Each structure stands twice: as structure tokens, then as C-alpha cells.
A and B are shown apart, each in its own frame.
Chain A
Amino acid sequence: MKRIGPLIVERRLAPPRHVVFGVSVLAVVVALLLAALVFWAYGVSPWRAYAEIGRGTLGTVGGLSDIVRRAIPLILCGVGLTLAFRAQFWNIGAEGQLLAGAVAASGVALFLRVPDVLRLPLVFLAGFGAGAVWAVIPALLRVKLQVNEVISTLMMNYIMAYIVEWLVHGPWKGPTMRGFAYTDMFPVAARLPLIAGTRVHWPTLAVGVAAALVVGLILSRTRLGYEVRVVGQSPDAARYAGISFTTVLALTMVVSGGLAALAGVGEVAGIHWRLRSPSHISMGYGYTAIIVAWLARGSPVAAILTALLFGLIFAAGDLMKSTLGLPFQITGVFNGLILFSLISSDLLMYWRIRWGKKGEAWT
């Protein structure tokens, strides 16, 4: 405890909710101020940049729908990651799981002979399954062979990215696409319906919002959620209580990876209507989702909001490219800055500043 003038600074063990929220907002604001420096360095007035962004994204229907379109994959990946992070499983592999979903969805869309009514449900199902399998591998490697999941999930991102490259350059390259590394277009029955006049593929959005609610309920109301929290907070207590790490982590990653994969399904079936090179399908949604989940502080429902924030940043990136001539990479810098200021602020929540009472020098 310290006294600075009339103020007393002291530590607290458990920050209340409104403090967490306030500090998080503050962190985002600080990041935006830092980003203003980047604009300034590029010779663009930060005021003008933020005004343009505000007008172009929040001010028009097209802009708003763009935010939502970008937020869909972030919601799905982010919700899954909140679950994994609650179990203290560092799933950095949402990007690869997303791509796995895209691959499986494309496979079913292009090559499986089924009646049209079944095609979309199967596309979703196959996508979820592929992501789940891709995500369960690092969970098992960690439990059975103590392989650090940060490394394994990351490596698997690269592996899946190269598999996609291989498919679109090789075996799945569409015969009608001539020089381009694309598959053929999906049949109409495998394309997701859009909200008229926008590129928002609403079924995926609905799945994402539903997933956030369901994962929220899983965490607070089910045995699995309870065990996830115990495993995440205290592995020793989990062992003591006889909780199976294999089951808990495997189930967690099935959900986490499956949801990330649905993001991939949405991108190929809702936006591109074909499989193409990884950098076009994803633009790093899987990595950005890490920040989405971190900013949501482990709450799947809050992840919807934070995903919208990052949807806004992506949409702003597009906008800055077209109107201000700034490169799209600026979004990466943005994201990095937000994450930086977010983690720097963590310590802040554990300090309380209040007015000292008279004569209260040291308690």
C-alpha cells in the first residue's frame, strides 16, 4: 500500500467486473492512440483517418455489413478459443483448424454425390469434423507425450496451409480455372444464402452466436465446463479430484477446433464459393481470434462483442487501403498494439486507487 498525495494505492486479489471492463476499454483506447502515431508517421492525419473509418464503416449499411462479415469467422474462432483458454490449453491453431474446415467443406461441396438438400448440412458437418480432428491431435500429443501445444498447434497451421496450397495447385485445381490456383466453383446447393444486398452469410453468423451462448452455458452449467475450469485453474487439483485430462482436453479441443473450422466453412461456402490459397481464405482470422478471446477475458458471449471490434478493424483496413492508400498490413500493427496494451493493463486491474481518509497514512 502506498500513499501518493491524497490518493491511496493498494492491491486487490479479485478485480470486480466493472474494473475489468473499464481497464479493457482503456487498453483499446490506448492502442488506438498509439495507432494514431502510425498514421501520423505515414503522413496521414490521425483525425482524418479515424473520421474516414468512422464514416466508412459505422456510417453506412455497406460498411456495417462488412464489419459483420469480417466478424463472423472471428466469432466462431474466438468462442472456441475462450473455451480452450479457460482450460489453459494454448490453442494457437485456430488458423489451421479453420483451413481444415475449409478443405473438408470444399471436398464435400465439390466431390460428394448427395442430394442437394443434404449438401449444405453435410458441408457443415464435414467441416466441423475435420477441424475437430485437426485440433484433437495436439491435445492428445500434450496429454500423452507432453508436447507443448503452442508449438504443435502452430506447426499444424503451417502444415495445413501447405496442404491447402498443394490441393489448389495440384489434385483439386479446377480444370476450368486455367492458370489460377483455385478449385472449381461450388455447386449452387453448396453455397450459403446471404442477407440480401450484403455479403453476410447469415447461417454461419447464426451458428456463431448460438455457439457463443451454448459454450457459455457449457462453462457455467455443465460438468464438462466445471472440469474445464478446474483443469485450467489448477491442474494439480484436477488430478487430485480424479478429473481425466485426456477427456477434458480432447472434448475442449473438439469444440474449439470444430468451431474454428466452421469459420472456414463460412468463408469458402459463403464468400469465395471455392477453395483457394490460404492467405485469401483467412487473412489471419485464426490469429486475430486469439486477441478476440483474450480481450473477452474468457467469456464466450463477450467474444461476440470483441469479434465485432476486430471486424471493424479489418473493415477499416480495407477502407484505408482504398481511400487513404494505406497498406492493409496496418491492421496487423493495430492488432499487435491492442494485444500489447491489453496485456500491459492486466496488472492495473489488481491495483485500486482511492481517496485516503484523514490521518490514514499507513494502515
Chain B
Amino acid sequence: MRAAAGSGHPDGPPESPHLIRLEEVTKSFPGVTANDRVTFEVRPGEVHALLGENGAGKTTLVNILYGLYRPDSGSIVVRGRRVAIRSPREAIALGVGMVHQHFKLVLPHTVAENAALGLPGTPFWAPARDVGRRLCALAERYGLPVDPDRRVWELSAGEQQRVEILKALLRGAQVLILDEPTSVLTPQETGELFKVLSRMREEGHGVIFISHKLTEVLEVADRITVMRRGRVVGTVAAAEANKPMLARMMVGREVVFRLTKAACTPGEAALSVEGIHVRNDRGLPAVRGATFHVCRGEIFGIAGIAGNGQRELVEALTGLRRIEQGKVRILGNEVTNRSPRFLADIGVAHVPEERIRMGIVPGLSVEENLILKRHHRPPFCRAGLLHLASVRRFAQGVIEEYGIVTSSPNTPAKLLSGGNIQKLILARELSGQPALVLAAHPTYGLDVGATEQIRDLLLRQRAGGAAVLLVSEDLEEVMELADRIAVMFRGEITGVVAGGEADREEIGLMMAGEERVRG
């Protein structure tokens, strides 16, 4: 793929013309310096990767480029001219386009309406029609097929990403910023995206590719800049880089790539799901006849691109969503469509996908959050009255045990850091010795330290004999932790493979809907 980098100069002369350059940029938020004197540039015809773990300051940096934040100090130079980018509109005018990690799309609107929004030169009447036509022409040129009249919510994540790229190109973007673009793609879709990027490289665009995944950065980039804790650690040509080196730069210490994991000794089935059907918020089928079981003492991983029914599956298993058809058994008892409270009471722990919105009550204190779900039972509640002393005693115990960093048990939970919020949730869910743990994206967005702790907690649950269902978009994580891996595609389980014999390519195919060839 690097062969396509015709005009890219990975190690070209320093005076080579850049499209955009950030010099000594600093930006701070209350309590954090997100960017500390960062210098970074992108040249025409290169893919420049920005690598770093979550919280390293990559997103802040590109938000500055895109005019969403203003730097506290430092300067931005576009094609040799110093500029101030005060708003996205100015960024767009300077030829900067951005594909956010969470797409900025108006879901109920059509593709064409989304593309027309704020686009200079659209006609006043029926703007969607005109823009739709231009969109199709552009789509052909870059190999990004879309239907301008479809509503965005009907599109898959990969298709939505295409719309985002087209939106940027339509606005004449010379520099395209892609923030964690592969997190929503199957390995095959990722390959397609990389083809589009090399096409853009040929056309002389500059691409800023943000990622925390070493493999793909090495695959797609010409140059790689590594960030850690708001600072640039260094910039290297991709040809001269390798995984261990980048990992060391990223984390600041040697990284062990394998977790130590005891052999799996599965017991009886703790959860068995028989052909369940569940609808999503729009009333459309989201889970279609899923069947599987999870045994005590094993981690059962569900891989798949987000939006293929994983969320609905977990919600159905925790009583938050109605099961239309099929049966769920937990520890041998049928529990189909029982209430969330009933399921929690019989020992189902749930680490929810949306941890701030669902997993905690942001304004309540840490200790009050720790008793959520058990607040109605002794020792915390007797005859309708809360027993504050036992709440406090319990909270102090688990805060210590799980290493939650908080100034006091009285602190509002919203003041905790992301990693500590997740630890709070795990402490609450795991301290009741659950028989079944449903964990959805448990390490999403956390830094390496917190991620390790949380993975360790899940492994300890497994060792303690709990059945763990792990849903994650991070294929690496699933492959590392799970004893068996199921892949979900369009609401169906397309196959189950043993963790040990899992092959990335094969799982990738299954994530794209290919049935596993058994035999």
C-alpha cells in the first residue's frame, strides 16, 4: 500500500511544502493540559498518523485544527501563511475537513440533506436535489458509492463514514482528518477505507489519521507522530517503525502484549439463550434468533461491528428490552422478560455500554452510586428507611478494594475520571458475587492503566466461577480475553469459534456476514 505514496516524502527535505502546520500549540482544560507545545504538520500526498492512547490529546489537537477549540498559545500555519481558525466554517474555508469519531450526521435527514447543510453555493430551493447530483459525481471519482436519497439512520456505520468523507470532499477539503475511523469498521471495510485513502493520496490530499491501533497505523501511514499525555513523543517514518517501538513511545514503558490467563475450566451453563428475537428503538428487528450459552468459569466474547444487535441483546438479557420470541435461562430457571430488578436480585451483573448515561447517577455521591440496584435490600434499606452507616461502611470497603480514586465517598460521581467511573460501576456490579456478568465495551475509551485493571477484574470473575459475557468492538480485546468468540452480524450469531484457534481474517469475514464454514 505504501507503493501508492507516489508524491509522499516520508523522509523528504525539511523545507518541503506542508499543507498545514501546528507550531508549539498548547491547550488546557480545568485540571488537564490536553496539548502541551505540540508541533505537527501534514504534507500534500501523505497520510500522517497521529498515534496515542485514549486521553493522549489527539482529539483535542485536531479539534483545534478544525476550529472547535482555540489554542491557549501557539500558531497554525496553512500553506505558509499564519492563520487563526476560530470556527469550523473558517477551517472548512482553509480546506480542512474532518470525520469525527462519533459522526456528525443528522440521522433523520437524507444523505443529500446532510451534505447540503451549510455547504456554500447550494441553491435556495430544493438544495438536496442539486447536492445529490454533485455527491454522486464525487462518489464515483473516489470509489465511495452512496444513495443520496436514503435516510442516514438506515445506513450502516461504514456507509455513514463514507457520507462523512464525501461531505468533506464536497467542501473542497485538502486536508482530511479522520478520528479513529476504523473503530466502526470490519477488517474488510477497513481495507476499503485504506484504498480510498491511497486514492486521496494520489490526488494530492493530506490525510491525518488518528488511531491507537499500531497495526493499522503501520499499514496505512507514511509518517507517524506519537503523542503521550498531551506531548509529542516523536515523529517517525512508517517504513522505519515497528510495533514494539511505537508501543514503547505510546505508553512510555515496555508493553507486554499477552495477558497471563489461566486455562479455562468451564462449568455448567449459567446463561442459555434460545432463539431470541428483539426489536430496536425504531421497532425493527435487531436480534434475530440468537442462540448461545455461557458457562460458569468462562468468558464468552461477542465480536461484531456496533449496531448489529449487540446493544439490544444485552438490554434484552438484563430485562431492559422486551424479548418478542425465544427463551432465556439463567442458572437453569427461565427468566425471559423478567424485570431488571428481578434479574439483578438473582445475580446478574450488568456493566452497561453507556456508563455515564446509564451506569451512574452523575449528581449522586460515590457511595450512593455504589448501592444502586441494592438500595432496596438489607442491609442498606430496612422498612423503607436507608441505613446510612452500612452504606458508608460498604462504600469505604469497596473503594479500597477496587482502588477507586475519589476524595471522599461523598464526592459526586460525575467528578471522577472516566477510569474511576468504570471502576465504580464494576465495584458495584462485581461486589455482589454475581453468577453472570454482562459487560458491554468495558474498556472503551479508557487509558492503558485502567484498561489493564478492568481486564484483570473480568479474568478474576472468570477464575471465581462466574460466567462472563463480554461484548466489545475491539477485536484484539475479545481475542485476548475470551475463551469462545461469537460474532454478531445483523442480529444473528454468524458463528462461534474457540478463543485459542481464532483467526483474525476469519472473524473479520464473519463480522461482515460470511457464515463460518464448519468442518
Direct contact of A and B (CB under 8 A): yes
Q: Cβ of B3 < 8 Å from any Cβ of A?
A: no
Minimum C-beta distance from B160 to chain A (A): 24
Interface residues of A in 207-258 (CB under 8 A from B): 221-227, 229-230, 233-234, 236-237, 239-243
Interface residues of A in 1-55 (CB under 8 A from B): 1, 10-14
In whole angstroms, what is the CA distance A241 to B375 when docked? Answer: 9
**A362–B364 CB distance below 8 A:** no
Q: Given the known A-B contacts A240-B340, A242-B344, A362-B26, are A224 and B384 also in contact in the complex, defined by CB atoms under 8 Å?
A: yes
For B30, the chain A residues whose CB sits under 8 A away are 1, 10-12
**A222–B28 CB distance below 8 A:** no
Minimum C-beta distance from B312 to chain A (A): 15
Q: Please tell me which one of the listed residues A222, A229, A237, A363 contacts residue B358 in the complex, with CB atoms under 8 A apart.
A: A237
For A224, the chain B residues whose CB sits under 8 A away are 384
**A13–B375 CB distance below 8 A:** no
Q: Given the known A-B contacts A13-B415, A242-B319, are A222 and B384 also in contact in the complex, defined by CB atoms under 8 Å?
A: yes
Q: Cβ of B361 < 8 Å from any Cβ of A?
A: yes
**B364–A222 CB distance below 8 A:** no
For A236, the chain B residues whose CB sits under 8 A away are 354, 357-358
Minimum C-beta distance from B370 to chain A (A): 12
**B412–A242 CB distance below 8 A:** no
In whole angstroms, what is the CA distance A240 to B425 when docked? Answer: 12
**A237–B361 CB distance below 8 A:** yes
Q: Please tell me which one of the listed residues A14, A226, A237, A362 contacts residue B360 in the complex, with CB atoms under 8 A apart.
A: A237
Q: Cβ of B341 < 8 Å from any Cβ of A?
A: yes
For A12, the chain B residues whose CB sits under 8 A away are 30
B: interface residue count bin: 35 or more
Smallest CB gap from A224: residue in B = B384
**B344–A223 CB distance below 8 A:** no
Smallest CB gap from A11: residue in B = B30
**A234–B357 CB distance below 8 A:** yes
Q: Please tell me which one of the listed residues B340, B342, B376, B414 contacts residue A223 in the complex, with CB atoms under 8 A apart.
A: B376
The digit string for A68-81, where 1 denotes a CB below 8 A from any CB of B, is 00000000000000
A: interface residue count bin: 20 to 34
In whole angstroms, what is the CA distance A241 to B380 when docked? Answer: 15
Interface residues of B in 364-414 (CB under 8 A from A): 364, 368, 372-373, 375-376, 381, 384-386, 388, 412, 414
Q: Please tell me which one of the listed residues A11, A222, A233 contacts residue B361 in the complex, with CB atoms under 8 A apart.
A: A233
Q: Please tell me which one of the listed residues B359, B376, B388, B412 contacts residue A240 in the complex, with CB atoms under 8 A apart.
A: B359
Most buried by B among A1, A10, A237, A239: A237
**A14–B415 CB distance below 8 A:** yes
Q: Please tell me which one of the listed residues A221, A233, A240 contacts residue B362 in the complex, with CB atoms under 8 A apart.
A: A233
Minimum C-beta distance from A228 to chain B (A): 11
Q: Cβ of B33 < 8 Å from any Cβ of A?
A: yes
The digit string for B315-358, where 1 denotes a CB below 8 A from any CB of A, is 00011100000000000000000011111100000101010011
In whole angstroms, what is the CA distance A10 to B344 when docked? Answer: 41
For A239, the chain B residues whose CB sits under 8 A away are 320, 340, 358
Q: What are 9 contact pairs spanning A and B, CB under 8 A? A: A221-B385, A223-B386, A229-B363, A230-B364, A230-B372, A236-B357, A241-B372, A242-B344, A362-B26
**Chain B interface (Cβ < 8 Å from any Cβ of A):** 26, 28-30, 33, 72-73, 318-320, 339-344, 350, 352, 354, 357-364, 368, 372-373, 375-376, 381, 384-386, 388, 412, 414-415
Q: A221-B385, A233-B361 are in contact. List 4 more A-B contacts (CB 8 A).
A: A1-B30, A14-B414, A229-B361, A234-B360
Enumerate the 3 nearest inter-chain pairs by beta-carbon distance, A residue then B residue, closest first: A242-B341, A242-B340, A362-B72
